[in-house]
A = this chain, B = another copy of it.
Amino acid sequence: MIKAQTLKGFRDFLPVEAKKRQYVINILKQVFESYGFEPLETPALEYEEILLGKYGEEDDKLMYRFEDNGKRKVALRYDQTVPLARVVAQYQNELPMPFKRYQIQNVWRAENTQKGRYREFLQCDADIVGTNSLLSDLEILQCANSTMKTLGFKDFTILINSRKVFNVFGPDSDKITRILDKEDKIGKENVLSQLNETIGSSAKAAKIYNMVKNLQPVQIPDRLKKILDNNEKLGLNLFPMFFLARGLSYYTDLIFEIKIANYKGGSVCGGGRYDNLIGMFAGKQIPAVGFAFGFDRLMEAMEELKLFPAELTTTKVLVTVFSKDLEGKSLEIASLLREKGINTEIYLDQDAKMEKQLKYADKKQIPYVVIIGPDEAKNNTITVKNLKTREQKTIPFDQLLDLFKE
């Protein structure tokens, strides 16, 4: 017999987990939409040439690529930014500009799997395409900030910087930037020695380090200054962190990351301005700013900080079936409850003992159980059991609805 198993790095989400995911996704959508971002969906498969060479050599190797039945070279979605660039070029005349879209879809990467790293994972992006205005930078920060608050996070910081801080380092700028970016992880000494290795001068290394460490107001790039000026007015929690560089080299100005105080898993959101990427298929410069939430980290942080509601069950009541001849009565009550907008299950398996039915309700965390036995049927009453308190009471049939109106 074939073994029932999933591929390494791929996951099933059983209802308990799937409901938590939906809870978070719904909040993301709600907040994104409150700022006027609208949903976009792109296909799982793209022509290979659309995706290849856009992320760097190392990433190209991690792409799921194959030939389809028609001998086309295709690849699975690797992120949502390159598909966005394709969409912007392909439907230039249809899209409202500035184009504000969010996209919440899976991407696939053949990574070495490890804790928190999967081969199929959800990306949650929101971007503003087609304007370089200060307002658009502010809106991206505001929206990320609102999302965190609406999810229930209280103690978090938006670390913020500008890529332009690193523009002064000349030809080695990329390498230097990558080293400085690690300051909070590896510390001053390691940064200095790695800088020294790269540029071959400990004096120069120290100079670079100190420049960033003690960045003078006059050295702060213009846009960053203006953003910081709005910090208080917009109730953001911006914190300038001049070592922050973010891995991806495509950022051109604003960069930011969100860190949660009591969560050690790393930043849960990152973003910035990238003015030279989105136009790649359109053949012209198209400015853009945006962010991506790391969904798996967000889920982990929510779990650790206990931000999920105690009850994610959407079902409110299980109507049990006392016996075959009282099945009709149970069906009737279940239909009635549903008509009144109360999510209701009826126990479906035949000839199950009451104990088994109550266990089912417990397993599905359904808060209330309704029992209609011969006495209840005769007297037009029902017995309702609260599965948390284990209290039960028998009430007239027509008081049933009041009970669930809390």
Contact = CB atoms under 8 A, between A and B. Distances in A.
A63 B43 CA distance: 17
Interface in A117-165: 120, 128, 130-136, 138-139, 142, 146
Task: Bin the interface of chain A by size.
Answer: 35 or more
B42 A12 contact: yes
Contact of A40 (B13, B72, B335): B13
Given A19-B38, A68-B110, A96-B364, A43 B7 contact: yes
A326 interface: no
A348 interface: yes
B335 A34 contact: no
Nearest to A32: B314
A349 B39 contact: no
Interface string A56-68: 0000011010111
B130 A349 contact: yes
Nearest to A137: B348
Interface stretch (A45-53, A208-216, A373-381): A45-53
A231 interface: no
Contacts of A10: 43-45
A219 interface: no
Interface of A: 1-8, 10-15, 18-19, 21-22, 33-36, 38-47, 49-50, 61-62, 64, 66-70, 72, 74, 76, 86-87, 89-91, 94-98, 100-101, 106, 108, 110, 120, 128, 130-136, 138-139, 142, 146, 233-234, 281-283, 314-315, 318, 321, 327-328, 331, 335, 338, 341, 343-346, 348-350, 360, 363-364, 366
30 contacts: A1-B281, A1-B283, A4-B86, A4-B87, A4-B89, A4-B90, A6-B86, A7-B43, A7-B72, A12-B90, A18-B39, A34-B338, A34-B343, A36-B343, A36-B344, A36-B366, A44-B108, A45-B64, A64-B68, A64-B69, A70-B110, A96-B363, A96-B364, A100-B348, A131-B349, A134-B350, A135-B348, A136-B348, A233-B328, A233-B331
